[in-house]
A = this chain, B = another copy of it.
Amino acid sequence: MNSGEFRRRGKEMVDFVADYLEGIEGRQVYPDVEPGYLRPLIPTSAPEEPDTFEDILNDVEKIIMPGAASPACTELETVMMDWLGKMLKLPEAFLAGQVGEGGGVIQGSASEATLMALLAARTKVVRRLQAASPGLTQGAIMEKLVAYSSDQAHSSVERAGLIGGVKLKAIPSDGKFAMRASALQEVLEKDKAEGLIPFFLVATLGTTSCCSFDNLLEVGPICNEENMWLHIDAAYAGSSFICPEFRHLLNGVEFADSFNFNPHKWLLVNFDCSAMWVKKRTDLIGAFKLDPLYLKHSHQDSGLITDYRHWQLPLGRRFRSLKMWFVFRMYGVKGLQAYIRKHVQLAREFECLVRQDPRFEICAEVTLGLVCFRLKGSNKLNEDLLERINSAKKIHLVPCHLRDKFVLRFAICSRSVELTHVQRSWEHIRQLTTDLLRAQRD
């Protein structure tokens, strides 16, 4: 949508809201629709080609408004999470469909998704062990529980462990910053020998530091054998899996209990929108289901409806699936794929530029939209360069440590980025580098 159309459509939306408020007394306070009304009214998967804005707005009037906030808010979310799951070619077990045991939910952030998965896994293992040994207290079990991630996992994983009150151990990653079977096995054997209880593992696809990928095909089967909950955090990289050429990065997802990525990062859906799927929704719901009378409703025991309040930390919910619906239809799957491909292509262009300058080195494989690079030389030198880059305020880079190296990260992430921005950024970095090296010589 270009700027002119945005102005026109935006103003139409303002009138839509005002008309609604002016006519609100004529509307019914409670909808006539029955649970499950929405799914048959919309296609079973996202369109390949873009729909028109007109079509989408007509569907809002025809499909959403009669279902008001409830049940439309819940039902559209379930169907949108199915659409998105299909775009990623997630195994059938993660989809809700009409009879599935799995399904998706929108969380606010990957941090919350990881925490929910850890808490569900904790409840599950505590119940299992208490069923086997009724004398065991929750405290005695929790003291022995241990969760795992790679040493490259995001800080929110460690935080989930702190909140959940369980140990979290970092598995040393390999030369490509990936978690591998051998390192995991070694720690597992040691922990089990010491009487600890491994119960949860977070595998990361696309780490924050350098976009490395844990080896799912190796660690997945181990999790299943050890009866450990496997959660996959693909917060950034997940969006790319809608492209067939990147889908192999998700191979092994079939071993997981839960999977999460953030469409708000790289799929053009506004913040916040973190997509989480589970294979067995009863695992998630079972952990924290409480039903006071003021939250009861006539359909809750029918099995027909989804009560997302049991799937998340907050009780209240926003109607976030609407923005997914709009984005998926306005771009179409092909449009979204083109967007991802363009970013990856631009990252590769940047990588080529860096490689042509012998003063620099590339520090990690460039798989998607992130390029990790540095000046050959000391960390101090690279810290000075970053200081010059960020002080100039033309571009903004966020660094990381890879092992003992201080590394600069060039991330393609703006909706409107073009090749010329990448080229100009690189010229700018080269110029600042030349200035820095000259200043150091003098």
Where the two chains meet, the residues of A that have a C-beta atom closer than 8 Å to any C-beta of B are 3, 6-7, 10-11, 13-15, 17-18, 21-22, 24, 28-30, 32, 108-112, 115, 119, 122, 137-140, 142-144, 154-156, 158-159, 162-165, 208-209, 271-272, 287-288, 290-295, 313-316, 318, 390, 393-396, 398-401, 409, 416
Residues in B with CB closer than 8 Å to A293 are 399-401
- Residues A14 and B18 in contact in the complex (CB < 8 Å), given A139-B143, A294-B398, A393-B30: no
Measured CA separation A400–B293 after assembly (Å):
6
Measured CA separation A17–B11 after assembly (Å):
12
Measured CA separation A143–B143 after assembly (Å):
10
Q: Give the number of times this chain occurs in the complex, counting copies.
A: 2
Which residue of B140, B393, B409 contacts A143 across the interface (Cβ within 8 Å)?
A: B140
Which residue of B29, B142, B159 contacts A288 across the interface (Cβ within 8 Å)?
A: B159
Measured CA separation A314–B115 after assembly (Å):
10
Which residue of B14, B17, B138, B156 contacts A165 across the interface (Cβ within 8 Å)?
A: B138
Which residue of B11, B143, B395 contacts A29 across the interface (Cβ within 8 Å)?
A: B395
Residues in B with CB closer than 8 Å to A137 are 143
Inter-subunit contact B165/A164 (CB<8 Å): yes
Given A7-B18, A21-B416, A111-B313: 13 more A-B contacts, CB < 8 Å: A3-B21, A6-B17, A10-B18, A11-B11, A29-B393, A138-B165, A139-B144, A159-B288, A165-B165, A208-B292, A272-B316, A294-B399, A313-B313
Measured CA separation A208–B154 after assembly (Å):
38
**How far does the Cβ of A271 sit from chain B's closest Cβ, in whole Å?**
6
Most buried by B among A28, A139, A162: A139
**How far does the Cβ of A110 sit from chain B's closest Cβ, in whole Å?**
8
* CB pairs A–B below 8 angstroms (21 shown): A7-B18, A10-B17, A21-B416, A29-B395, A29-B396, A109-B313, A111-B313, A112-B314, A137-B143, A139-B165, A155-B290, A155-B291, A163-B163, A163-B164, A163-B288, A163-B313, A164-B165, A271-B318, A272-B318, A294-B398, A294-B399
Residues in B with CB closer than 8 Å to A21 are 3, 6, 416
Residues in B with CB closer than 8 Å to A393 are 28-30, 32
Inter-subunit contact B29/A3 (CB<8 Å): no
- Residues A108 and B30 in contact in the complex (CB < 8 Å), given A3-B18, A18-B7: no
Q: Which residue of B lies closest to A28 (CB)?
A: B393
Inter-subunit contact B14/A7 (CB<8 Å): yes
Measured CA separation A365–B204 after assembly (Å):
54
Inter-subunit contact A30/B143 (CB<8 Å): no
Which residue of B28, B32, B108, B292 contacts A108 across the interface (Cβ within 8 Å)?
A: B108
Inter-subunit contact A316/B209 (CB<8 Å): no
- Residues A159 and B290 in contact in the complex (CB < 8 Å), given A109-B315, A111-B313, A143-B137: yes
Residues in B with CB closer than 8 Å to A416 are 21, 24
Inter-subunit contact B7/A115 (CB<8 Å): no
Residues in B with CB closer than 8 Å to A112 are 313-314
**How far does the Cβ of A43 sit from chain B's closest Cβ, in whole Å?**
29
Measured CA separation A390–B291 after assembly (Å):
20
Measured CA separation A115–B293 after assembly (Å):
22
Residues in B with CB closer than 8 Å to A109 are 313-316
Q: Which residue of B lies closest to A11 (CB)?
A: B11
- Residues A3 and B30 in contact in the complex (CB < 8 Å), given A111-B313, A209-B294, A401-B293: no
